[in-house]
Every structure is written in structure tokens, then in C-alpha cells.
Amino acid sequence: MTKNTISVAYFKHPYAEFVIGTYQDQLCLCDFRYRKMRATVDNRLKKQLKAEFIEQSNPLIEATITQLEEYFLGQRSEFDLPLLLVGTDFQQSVWRALTQVKYGNTASYLDLAQAINNEGAVRAVGTANGANALAIIVPCHRIIGRHGELVGYGGGLPLKKRLLELEQNLFLSPPA
């Protein structure tokens, strides 16, 4: 019997270096290659999908790279990729709520907790946000502190600031 596999490839961009992974034609991983929680996120994916990482590209990984490049160039505000959210039901509800925070906007952890009808779960929402395996695509960088301050981010606060600034430009002028 062949073991399930998660195809992974690495993508180095001037903003950050990513590890991108797919499982059965769905994107399950698009995360910072060197983040502190790298092993935790990878192990969760492997365990829940009962799969191992195999370094190999495929059309979905290539499409993900193309869409990330468009995003970083300010040419894409939404991603059009089949996503596989791998986590608990609670984590998945938080990640789905994250996808509703639109390009150029921000929200607080309390806003997210309210969006999933669990206002008392602000800390748990923050923990789920930090466990997101689909950085940029499931936009956890759009979550800020209650008073507008930048708070934790797997890619680091300087990158979070840079992403939010990128999104504030809101497609000012399309390329000629």
C-alpha cells in the first residue's frame, strides 16, 4: 500500500521564503519556511492527513506561486485556489472567518471571536490564528490588536506591517 503524500515545494520571494504543500489536489500548506511553529504545523498536517512530505512540484503548487507573485505585485486581492483546512473544527471556523476579512481591511481577535459567535474565545481565536498553515491566502496578517497595534505573526511583525502596507495601496494604478 502506498503511503499518502503531501507534495511540497519551496518558494523564495523577496518578502519571505515559503513552503507550499498540496494533498489530493488541494492546497494544505502555504507557510513561512522558517517560522517558529514550523514543526508543529507540519506535524499536524502529517498526522491528520496520515501522510508524509515528498518534495515535488505540481500544477497546483505552480498556480499558488503565480497567485502569490501577483499578490505581492499588487495585482491580486483574492486567491482562487482549492483549500484544505487541516485542524480542529474550532480552528477551521476561525480560519473560515479569516477569509472574510477582505483585502485592505483589518480586524481584531474580538472581531473574529464575534464572527464565529464565540465572543468569550478571544484567546483561543488568537491561538488558532497562529496555527494557520495557509499564510497570506488565509489572511491572518490582517488581524491586529484591539487598539490597532500590530501583534504576533508567524512571518514576523516587520513582514506583517509590510503586507498591510501593500494592501493599503488597493490597486492604485494597474500596470500599463
Element containing residue 123 per DSSP (H, E): helix 122-130
pTM over 0.75: yes
The mean pLDDT of 36-51, rounded to a whole number, is 95
Q: How far apart are CA 1 and CA 77, in angstroms?
A: 42
pLDDT attached to residue 89: 96
Locate the DSSP E strands across the chain.
4-12, 17-23, 26-32, 51-55, 107-108, 143-144
Rg of the chain over all Cα atoms, to the nearest angstrom: 16
Indicate the DSSP class of residue 2: P
pLDDT attached to residue 148: 85
pLDDT attached to residue 173: 52
Q: How far apart are CA 118 and CA 87, in angstroms?
A: 18
pLDDT attached to residue 151: 85
Which residues are catalytic, by number?
140
Q: How far apart are CA 45 and CA 40, in angstroms?
A: 9
CA distances from 143 to 98, 132, 148, 169 (A): 8, 12, 9, 18
- Cβ atoms of 77 and 104 within 8 Å: the answer is yes
The mean pLDDT of 79-102, rounded to a whole number, is 96
Within 10 A of 102 (CB to CB), how many other CB atoms are there? 13
pLDDT attached to residue 1: 40
pLDDT digits (tens, 9 = 90+) for 136-155: 999 999 999 888 888 888 88
Element containing residue 90 per DSSP (H, E): helix 89-98
Asked if the model's pLDDT at residue 69 lies above 50, the reply is yes
pLDDT digits (tens, 9 = 90+) for 46-59: 999 999 999 999 99
Place of cell 493599503: 168
Asked if the model's pLDDT at residue 85 lies above 60, the reply is yes
